[in-house]
Amino acid sequence: MAEASELETLRNEVRAWLVANAPATWRQESIDPDAFFRIQRDWFLKLVEGGYAVPHWPAEWPGGGRSLAEQKVIYEEMARADTPRLLLSFVSTYHAASTILECASKEQQERYLPAILKGETWCQGFSEPGAGSDLAGLRCRAERRGDVYVINGQKIWSTIAQYADKCLLLVRTSNEKAKQAGMTFLLCDMKTPGITVRPINQIHGDEEFAEIFFDEVEIPVSERIGAEGDGWAVAQATLASERGLTLLELSERMRGALVRIATLIRDTGRLDDAGVMRDFGRLATSVDATCALADQFLAWRIAGEEQVGQASLIKLRYSRVLREFTLLGLRLDDMDAQYHAPITFGGGMETGNWMADFMNSYAWTIAGGSDEVQRNIISERMLAMPREPKNWTIQGDAA
């Protein structure tokens, strides 16, 4: 771990760089998806240029080789400067990069990683209508025909797939053994004939997710990662790619956003309302506790003491406190929150409209492993409570 003084030097460097380079008016400008993604693309390229886009990549890549403690400093400063969150490049720089770095061939690495730094974007094709929390139940089929796999099926909840160039695709190549054993991991070009993308309107109107339909889509066998049937293991590398750091940044952003509630209390003349101040004090303490847990998790990782389930603790704590945060804003904003307002795309829980923020908080209780999945992990892996039996029947169930 770097010395405290080195971290302070880095902090000052990042802060100065952000003052000179961070986009200041992105919230006002993000009025539609196109504007938002243009801002995202420009900001990402600027970060690449400044050397702060991929601090978690290995040292041989430009901007990489930062320790966890250094990454933390960088994310804290970005949260502090209220820069746009990197939604567009998030899957590219974390999920795609870590899968490719850990499991792909040298040739695949050289083909895909430099393109990511030039702005190529990836989406993740894992979930399906019948395979959400139970990902191993996926059915999107890949059939080997000579040098290609032919894909037929559907993926869903794929974040910003409608803007992606490439896709991390988990498909079924066999039904013969255990569910996990029949999966294969492919890299798919989204421009391949036979692919149709349909954006999904979320409950607040934003189109963050999409469905992807595959109709006789041909993917060369050379685009496979790992062996045929090893897809499940490769997918674990994808899913483990950003344990904790994102939530550290998000927790800090939530702390930074407490001022929005304080301002709302002031502007509605309730700074002397004991009940309101009590609710605010309780929320602020819960936010502090969430940040403390995220810090603690990072300290565990740095010390090599990370244990299974700790990442789930933070995800679950963050998602619940974010819900409380948005609900307090919603309540305090009273009727004003009920009037429909155009939202800031990609604003997360800071769109400026409390109803939109409240609705968006569901993204954190459902996506990326729902609260229920996190609770299973915590109870089974940390508290050693037994799994439920796999076999069951319901009387009268014809299936």
Instruction: Report, as residue numbers or ranges, the catalytic residues.
Output: 242
Sorted by sequence, the CB contacts under 8 Å of residue 319 that are 6+ apart come out as 361, 364, 365, 371
String marking each residue 54-83 x if it binds another protein according to CB under 8 A:
------------------------------
Find the binder of another protein among 16, 19, 24, 289 (CB under 8 A).
289
Asked if 281 interacts with another protein (CB under 8 A), we say yes
String marking each residue 353-392 x if it binds another protein according to CB under 8 A:
-------------------x-xxx-xxx-xxxxxxxx---
**Which of 108, 110, 99 shows the shortest CA–CA distance to 169?**
99
Please report how close the Cβ of residue 297 comes to another protein at its closest, in angstroms: 8
Asked if 3 interacts with another protein (CB under 8 A), we say no
Is 39 or 283 the residue whose CB approaches another protein more closely? 283
CA 152 to chain centroid: 26
Is 177 or 387 the residue whose CB approaches another protein more closely? 387
Q: Pairing mode, if any, of strands 183-189 and 224-225? A: antiparallel
Distances (CA, A) of 22 to 26, 29, 42: 9, 14, 11
Q: Which helix (H) or strand (E) holds 5?
A: helix 4-21
Q: Tokens 């945060």 belong to which residue?
A: 325
Please report how close the Cβ of residue 247 comes to another protein at its closest, in angstroms: 12
168 within 8 A of 135, measured Cβ to Cβ:
no
Distances (CA, A) of 378 to 55, 90, 180, 219, 306: 29, 26, 22, 38, 14
Sorted by sequence, the CB contacts under 8 Å of residue 262 that are 6+ apart come out as 280
Asked if 280 interacts with another protein (CB under 8 A), we say yes
String marking each residue 316-335 x if it binds another protein according to CB under 8 A:
xx--x---------------
Alpha-carbon Rg for the chain, nearest whole angstrom, is: 22
Find the binder of another protein among 13, 29, 288, 306 (CB under 8 A).
288
Q: Pairing mode, if any, of strands 148-159 and 195-200? A: unpaired
Please report how close the Cβ of residue 307 comes to another protein at its closest, in angstroms: 11
Q: Which helix (H) or strand (E) holds 264?
A: helix 258-267
DSSP state, 27? H
Asked if 274 interacts with another protein (CB under 8 A), we say yes
Is 12 or 285 the residue whose CB approaches another protein more closely? 285
Is 143 or 267 the residue whose CB approaches another protein more closely? 267
Specify the stretch interacting with another protein by CB under 8 A; choose among 39-47, 72-80, 93-101, 284-292: 284-292
Q: Which helix (H) or strand (E) holds 22?
A: none
Asked if 296 interacts with another protein (CB under 8 A), we say yes
Q: What's phi and psi for 169, nearest 5 deg?
A: -115, 125
Is 117 or 298 the residue whose CB approaches another protein more closely? 298
Beta bridge partners of 224: 186
**Which of 196, 24, 162 shows the shortest CA–CA distance to 87?**
162
Count, residues near another protein per rule CB under 8 A = 48
Specify the stretch interacting with another protein by CB under 8 A; choose among 21-29, 143-151, 164-172, 315-323: 315-323
Please report how close the Cβ of residue 1 comes to another protein at its closest, in angstroms: 8
User: Residues interacting with another protein, by CB under 8 A?
Assistant: 258-259, 262-263, 265-266, 271, 274, 276-282, 284-286, 288-293, 295-296, 299, 302-303, 313, 316-317, 320, 372, 374-376, 378-380, 382-389
